[in-house]
Each structure stands twice: as C-alpha cells, then as structure tokens.
Amino acid sequence: MNAEFDSLNPLAAVSPMVGMWLNCVFETPEGRSILTLYGAMADASGSLAFGAAPVPFSAQTRMSGVDLPDGQQIRKGAADAVIAFVQARQGRVPEELNTLVNVMNLHSPTSAILSAVIFNALIIPALIPIALKGVAYRPLGADALLRRNLVVWGLGGVVIPFVGINLIDLALVATHLTV
C-alpha cells in the first residue's frame, strides 16, 4: 500500500525548499504526494541544487536525504534516527520535534513498541469471542446504526488503545522493564 500525505507538520526551523529537495531525490508515490503538498506551501521549483547527492533510504540508518554542495546534510526518516544523526554532528534539534513525534507522551520508542505489542497480545484474544459469537441483528435506521457503531467501535478502536498503551507504558517504566 502506498502512503499519500494530506497534511504536513513542518518544523519552524525547516524551509519548505528542504522538503522539496528531499522528495525530488526519490521518485515514490509518497515523495510525489509530499511534493504536491510542498508545492502548495512554497513558491519554488523544487529542483535539486547542482552537485547535490541523494542519500537513499537504508534499513540500517532508517533515513534518506540529500547532501548539498555547500556541505549541508538534510535527512528525513525515523525521528529517533534523525535526532541521533543531528546530535552526532553537534546540530540543534528543535524543541517542537518531540511534541510532534511523541503524541502519546510515551517513555521511549522501545517502550512504545513493547506497550503496543503487549496491548495487542491482550486485546486480540479478548476480541475473538465477540467475533465468533457475531453481532445480533437489530432493525435500526441507518443513522441510529451509524451512531451506535461510532460510539462502540470508534471509542473501542481509538480511545481504549491510547489509554491501554499508556497504562502499559507506565507499568513498564515503573517496573524498570524498558529503557
């Protein structure tokens, strides 16, 4: 499945031209959708500077980017990898980055993944009996049925995972089971 972006949260310190350069380098559906959004935000051609070198994505670095002729190195990718890259070069990481990335305010990326895995390991077996039993048919109008489904499955599908994953993260941190 190809990701298409419909909104951007650029950091105040990042020029729209940087996003254009990063996404001109790699011809992907994701890159094209980001270019479309940046095109709406910036009045720039988006062409790469002469002599700029693309840095392809790798699983080891979890980043891609472009090295500009003036020595600037621009990267995009996993937030923790980009932060480590910037800090290793004595760069400054904007404060707003943590707020944008850590929406659930979890302890660390490791505890976030572990909490989500534990939550899924607990919730999936709990949902199997509901799936096997099925849902009783009730003659309801479309609006009433939609309201009911949004409350039951919307609440259960969005709010409960956020609360559950946060509680598991707190327990993992309190018991020192994660870094």
Q: Give the model confidence (pLDDT) of 43-94 as tens digits.
A: 444 455 566 777 888 888 888 877 877 888 878 788 888 888 988 999 888 8
User: Which pLDDT value is given to residue 41?
Assistant: 45
Helix locations, the chain, DSSP H: 16-25, 29-41, 79-88, 96-101, 109-133, 142-149, 160-174
For each of the domains in the chain, give its residue range(s) and CATH number, in order of start. Answer: 16-100 (3.40.1110.10), 109-174 (no CATH)
The pair of three-digit structure tokens given for residue 44, joined into one six-digit string:
């720039």
Q: Write the pLDDT tens digit of every residue in 93-126.
A: 887 777 777 777 788 878 888 999 999 999 999 8
What φ, ψ does residue 67 adopt, rounded to 5°? -105, 120
Closest by CA position to 38, among listed 20, 22, 23, 25: 20
3-class DSSP state of 67 = strand
